[in-house]
Amino acid sequence: MNQLAAQTSIPDSVFLEPSVYKNGQFQNQEETPMMTGEDSYFKIIRQFFKKIPNGVPEKAIQTYPFKKGQLNNSGQPIEYVWFGHSTLLINFKGTKILIDPVFSINASPVPFSNRSFSYTENYSVEQLPTIDWVLISHDHYDHLDKKTIKKIKDKVGHFFVPLKVKRRLIKWGVPEDKITEADWWDSYTHASGITITAAPARHFSGRSLSDRNNTLWCSWAIKDHQNAVFFSGDSGYGRHFKVIGNELGPFDLTFIECGQYNQNWRFIHNMPEESVQAHIDLGGKKMVPIHWAKFKLSLHSWTEPIERAKVAAEKQEVDLTVPEFGKINTVN
């Protein structure tokens, strides 16, 4: 982590500025190489075809049946449901917010690749309640799913997406007046008084080899005058977490990316120990690690992210919750 934290002396004010779009591409605030280390690209590709011990679950993962009628029954201000990877349904004081919805069986432009792990309960768009807002963090296939968007578009009040992602949703049949594009630090307030803010992340975008960084990536903060929730999207560790915490925190609950990491791409995906540190930087009270247990997109075992995060959280005295699929969780 020290190699990440100590690499730059950029003033905090830079992290509070809107995104930079230069030569047809969006830029990260800190220098962010896609690949580092000694392993070549072709060596890494070959490793993906080798069997990794415990790389995928041996049997279907035990999951809860989701019952939308049970939302709003807890009496708590915040409820959330994790559907695996980064797909979350948050009931924030009656406002239902769906984040990075992916209900397809694979996260890839190629059928039958990057297939979802097997669950005892399979979740679908049809099970969801009417949604007030959908938030998208970036346009990668494991966060922006064409099939899901096309199925869900008629039961969603409004979509909030990073800059230049709107055109994809319009192409998939979402009315333009139901989509708002956001730059870093743009805020929007719901009639209920809840405000969402697009915040920086340290990542990249693109759905093919020819559109790298043509669209923006972001994190999201959801808050009112009493409570606050943070969703990291995909991000490598960086100083932006501390700045976001200072500006928008502290947070009652943080959903932090924790999975699909590797030393060779450590600047665009947190290592589990960095996920815990990001939560601390944000001023978080309770941490929920996400971005694991659904797709095999890296070379670690499928359980390693949560195992390492639990160890790091214990050392740092962080209140970490291991999410359970489909279960309605509460935050008071």
pLDDT, one tens digit per residue, over 48-72 is 778 889 999 999 999 999 999 999 9
Closest to 222 in 3D by CA, of 191, 188, 181: 188
Is the predicted pLDDT of residue 331 greater than 80, yes or no? yes
Residue 2, pLDDT score? 36
Tokens of 1: 């982590």
CA pair distance 332, 227, nearest whole angstrom: 9
pLDDT digits (tens, 9 = 90+) for 271-291: 999 999 999 999 999 999 999
Q: Model pTM?
A: 0.95
Residue 3, pLDDT score? 38
pLDDT digits (tens, 9 = 90+) for 304-317: 999 999 999 999 99
Helices 272-281 and 304-316 cross at an angle (nearest 10°) of: 40
pLDDT digits (tens, 9 = 90+) for 34-46: 988 767 667 777 7
Give all strands (DSSP E) within 93-211, no chain letters. 95-99, 131-135, 156-162, 179-182, 187-189, 195-199
Q: Does residue 248 sit in helix, strand or coil?
A: helix
- Contact between residue 80 and residue 331 where contact means Cβ atoms under 8 Å apart: yes
Determine which helix (DSSP H) or strand (DSSP E) holds 326, and give its type and residue range: none
Residue 172, pLDDT score? 98
| Residue partners of 22: CB distance under 8 A and separation at least 6 | none
Tokens of 102: 């992916």
Question: In this structure, which amino acid lies at residue 92?
Answer: F
Residue 1, pLDDT score? 35
Is the predicted pLDDT of residue 47 greater than 90, yes or no? no
Is the predicted pLDDT of residue 111 greater than 70, yes or no? yes
Helices 272-281 and 240-248 cross at an angle (nearest 10°) of: 30
Share of residues in the chain with pLDDT > 70 (%): 96
| Lowest model confidence (mean pLDDT) among 38-47, 104-113, 121-130, 318-327 | 38-47
CA pair distance 200, 184, nearest whole angstrom: 6
Is the predicted pLDDT of residue 6 greater than 80, yes or no? no
| Lowest model confidence (mean pLDDT) among 106-110, 224-228, 256-260 | 106-110
Residue 4, pLDDT score? 39
List domains and CATH numbers for the chain. Answer: 63-331 (3.60.15.10)
